Structure 1
Amino acid sequence: MTCPICAKASDPKYRPFCSKRCADVDLGRWLSGRYAVAADAPEDLEEAAEALAEQARKLH
């Protein structure tokens, strides 16, 4: 198996990544919104947007 970030051989300690660095790069991409999971139904998108707005209101 190769690392999905840099294509080097994966390390069992960080599988499927080769290093902590590549694992952190992947996590950063998820947290920044660079990766996304598509929703099939528009209702799912609306519910997610409402939930996100509610969380934002609670933080402020």
Structure 2
Amino acid sequence: RERECLTLASRGLTSEDIAARLEISPRTVEFHFAGIRSKLAAANRQEAIAKAMAAGLILT
């Protein structure tokens, strides 16, 4: 789910949009991003997306 959230965020979707697409709550999306930021040592969503793209974890 974290990778799905990250991929959708890289396409410009908001937490609310991601939540609706994945049929989960916006709070769950934020929880997933907290895990993503921790794993990638990123300060924010944009940095996490950049690091994930650089590592080849997501494609745009």
TM-score range, shorter chain: 0.3 to 0.5
Output the TM-score relative to the length of structure 2: 0.32
Tell me: higher relative CO, structure 1 or 2? Use CA pairs within 8 A at least 6 residues apart.
2
TM-score, normalised with respect to structure 1: 0.32
Structure number with higher helix proportion: 2
Higher CA-based Rg: 1
